[in-house]
């Protein structure tokens, strides 16, 4: 089984991931690492470094069918939510809606959302129960309450059940210093460092602390239960900060405590009732406060030991050396010093100095850009002035010396032009580099997804082959569908269904762009199929609206024996129908076999169409529906094979390309042909039109209609 944990590299998420891995689940983690740490997870898992509100999340859900999704990713700092409520809402509200919507869309069995006791606000009706009024006092609490509302609305609108846990103050190993639970990790950190503890107020304020291991246990149990709704997750007990310090001193020894003024708005007492979850889930916390503190204390001591051993290595990897930062200035001054020395030693004349200075400004500007070129200009002008003074000229006389002013203007113009040009070039390079990195990131993401899909496919192949069952033939099916060409998938699907199902008639219909019909794209050719299925037809509606396969048990007239609608989420792609199945093969076994095959065809087709949409620009001539020659020839070859194997008819029309009327001709041709037909170019500067499932008579009629519009095409291949 597969579990997706958002925020899985975080404090709570990593413990939840550990628990599911130990129970034999395939663990997938989605985290943007804003607070998480990859070092928390030591076992083999699938990792996606993506924010929960990112559109890339759909790629992950589309590629895997998760059994459980646990949404822990959140902005958890109350102070940050006050300082930046917009970002808090983006992560905690928008991110939740994205993951919740995808979980519903891709039929995730169990969705678990981590809420917080912060939704109750300053409520003094202790212990707080799920029915108590919510009145959050911070944007963080508001966003969590809003998240709970979304989960409830998804149940009302879409009948999608979820479980919401309102955590009390969670503590344990791997915790940072944020949130109320962070009090324990903060205090233990200071104690191990020999520092005093700051306590706000008199220390008698209470909190309901729960160990992270108990939280992970409750979440795991929930994923294997029928639980739904809102639950507190707590120990149903209170402990004061003074009592907490006393337990810590038992572990470490006496420590100094400093009491300061209480924080404004700080809640004096907090405790959540866990009666509902104890009764409904048959769960109870296993870790006492003392045992939980011992576990956390030992982890912090181990962490301090590791940090001490790594301190030397870390200190050697600090900021880049000062030399690299000042290298352009140093080299600029060195080159200028050579020119100045030649000048002051009377090695070159003033005229040559001008030549040398221009060359110096040009080189520095080209190498280092605008800033260094301006410095070079200033230094060169200074050197020129100094030379004039050595000749006995006065500074005031230089202001009306046209020769001097011309030289200064020359220095400035060269420096500014070269500096600006190089700076502009560098900015363009940075912009292109940024775009390249963005595309590389997208490519890397898709490449990783593809690699993981291939791993899953290989694993599935091995499992199927090792069963010893007749379904080992699915290995052959997977090989046939291992392509990114939709036309090839349509063709191979017919072959696969005929061989696997031992059925004579197979038809595949593609959903039209006008959403009004299904167009025939492939057919076994055993006997004539309808070229179009209308969406409003009763049996077509039954097939398209069924979540599983359609079986014609009521013997509807004109309906196929079995059919399946292929879709990408809510978007319909195609319809597969089979007929003329031998009587002994009309069984539940063959129904299940048909379901498995069509699901694999659907997965292959979704992947191929997604790849096609990403690489669409590479397939067509610029700003036209005309396929490039290499792409068109692949489709043509597929049609030829379909004709050879199944006698599926096709026609190839050819005509000369008229440069002046090219766009008009292509537009008119596009209006006349179906969306299952193609327009392409040939290396002989010819325009090609490929008509699928078209008779010679229909082709001749098309040629005639186009001829009336001044477009001359002739039939060159097909039913001649």
Q: Return the structure tokens found at 597.
A: 């095959």
**Which helix H or strand E contains 572, and what residues bound it?**
strand 571-581
Q: 3-state DSSP call for residue 639? A: helix
H-type helices in 193-288, by residue range? 212-223, 241-252, 275-281
- Alpha carbon dihedral 18, 21, 25, 30, in 10-degree steps, equals 50
DSSP 8-state class, residue 531:
S
Residue 417's φ and ψ, nearest 5 degrees, are -65, -50
Angle value at C-alpha 237, between 234 and 239, nearest 5 degrees:
115
Distance CA 531, CA 640 (A): 19
**Distance separating the N- and C-terminal Cα atoms of the chain:** 55
Q: Is 220 a catalytic residue?
A: no
- Among candidate residues 140, 231, 360, 650, the one labeled active-site is 140
Sheet with 2-6: strands ordered across = 46-48, 26-30, 2-6, 68-71, 110-116, 163-167, 229-233
- Of 9, 2, 54, 10, give the one whose Cα is nearest residue 28: 2
Q: How many residues does the chain have?
A: 720
Distance CA 324, CA 446 (A): 37
- Of 626, 636, 619, give the one whose Cα is nearest residue 686: 626
- Of 359, 362, 373, give the one whose Cα is nearest residue 328: 373
Q: Which residues are catalytic?
A: 140
């Amino acid at each position: 089984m597969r579990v997706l944990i958002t925020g899985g590299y975080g404090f709570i998420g990593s413990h939840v991931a550990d628990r599911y891995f130990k129970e034999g689940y395939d663990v997938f983690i989605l985290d943007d690492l804003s607070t998480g740490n990859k070092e928390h997870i030591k076992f083999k898992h699938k990792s996606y470094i993506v924010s929960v509100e990112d559109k890339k999340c759909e790629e992950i859900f589309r590629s895997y069918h998760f059994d459980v999704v646990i949404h822990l990713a959140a902005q958890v700092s109350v102070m940050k939510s006050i300082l930046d409520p917009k970002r808090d809402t983006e992560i905690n509200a928008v991110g939740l809606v994205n993951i919740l919507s995808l979980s519903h869309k891709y039929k995730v069995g169990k969705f678990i959302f981590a809420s917080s006791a912060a939704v109750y606000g300053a409520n003094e009706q202790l212990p707080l129960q799920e029915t108590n009024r919510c009145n959050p006092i911070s944007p963080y609490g508001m966003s969590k309450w809003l998240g709970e509302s979304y989960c409830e609305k998804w149940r009302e609108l879409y009948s999608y059940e979820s479980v919401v846990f309102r955590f009390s103050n969670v503590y344990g190993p791997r915790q940072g210093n944020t949130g109320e639970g962070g009090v324990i990790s903060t205090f233990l950190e200071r104690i191990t460092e020999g520092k005093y503890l700051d306590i706000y107020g008199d220390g008698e304020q209470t909190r309901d602390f729960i160990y992270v291991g108990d939280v992970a246990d409750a979440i795991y149990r929930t994923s294997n239960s029928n639980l739904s709704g809102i639950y507190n997750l707590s120990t149903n007990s209170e402990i004061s900060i003074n009592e907490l310090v006393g337990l810590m001193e038992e572990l470490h020894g006496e420590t100094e405590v400093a009491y300061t003024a209480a924080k404004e708005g700080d809640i004096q007492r907090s405790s959540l009732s866990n009666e509902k979850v104890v009764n409904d889930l048959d769960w109870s916390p296993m870790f006492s406060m003392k045992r939980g503190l011992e576990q956390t204390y030992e982890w912090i001591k181990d962490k301090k030991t590791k940090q001490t051993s790594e301190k030397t290595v870390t200190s050697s990897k600090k900021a880049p050396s000062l030399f690299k930062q000042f290298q352009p200035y140093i080299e600029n001054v060195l080159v200028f010093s050579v020119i100045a020395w030649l000048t002051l030693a009377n090695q070159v004349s003033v005229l040559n100095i001008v030549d040398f200075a221009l060359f110096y400004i040009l080189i520095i500007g080209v190498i280092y850009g605008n800033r260094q070129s301006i410095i070079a200009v200033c230094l060169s002008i200074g050197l020129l002035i100094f030379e004039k003074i050595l000749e006995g000229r006065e500074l005031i006389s230089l202001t009306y010396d046209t020769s001097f002013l011309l030289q200064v203007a020359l220095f400035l113009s060269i420096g500014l032009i070269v500096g600006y040009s190089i700076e502009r070039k560098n900015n363009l390079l940075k912009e292109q580099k940024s775009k390249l990195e963005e595309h590389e990131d997208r490519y890397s993401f898709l490449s990783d997804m593809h690699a993981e899909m291939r791993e899953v496919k290989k694993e599935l192949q091995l499992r199927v082959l090792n069963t010893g069952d007749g379904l080992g033939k699915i290995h052959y099916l997977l090989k046939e569908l291992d392509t990114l060409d939709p036309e090839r998938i349509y063709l191979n699907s017919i072959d696969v269904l005929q061989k696997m199902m031992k059925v004579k008639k197979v038809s595949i219909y593609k959903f039209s762009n006008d959403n009004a019909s299904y167009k025939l794209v492939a057919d076994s050719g055993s006997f004539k199929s309808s070229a179009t299925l209308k969406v409003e037809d009763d049996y077509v509606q039954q097939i398209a609206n069924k979540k599983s396969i359609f079986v014609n048990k009521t013997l509807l007239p004109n309906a196929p024996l079995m059919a399946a609608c292929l879709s990408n989420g809510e978007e319909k792609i195609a319809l597969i129908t089979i007929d003329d199945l031998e009587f002994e093969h009309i069984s539940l076994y063959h129904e299940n076999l048909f379901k498995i095959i069509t699901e694999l065809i659907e997965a292959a087709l979704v992947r191929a169409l997604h790849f096609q949409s990403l690489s669409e620009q590479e397939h067509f001539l610029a700003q036209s529906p005309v396929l490039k020659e290499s792409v068109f020839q692949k489709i043509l070859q597929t049609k030829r094979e379909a004709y050879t194997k199944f006698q599926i008819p096709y026609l190839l029309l050819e005509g000369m390309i008229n440069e002046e009327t090219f766009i008009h001709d292509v537009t008119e041709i596009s209006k006349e042909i179906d969306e299952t037909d193609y327009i392409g170019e040939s290396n002989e500067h010819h325009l090609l039109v490929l008509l699928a499932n078209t008779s010679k008579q229909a082709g001749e009629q098309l040629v005639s209609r186009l001829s009336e519009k001044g477009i001359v095409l002739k039939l060159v291949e097909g039913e001649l």
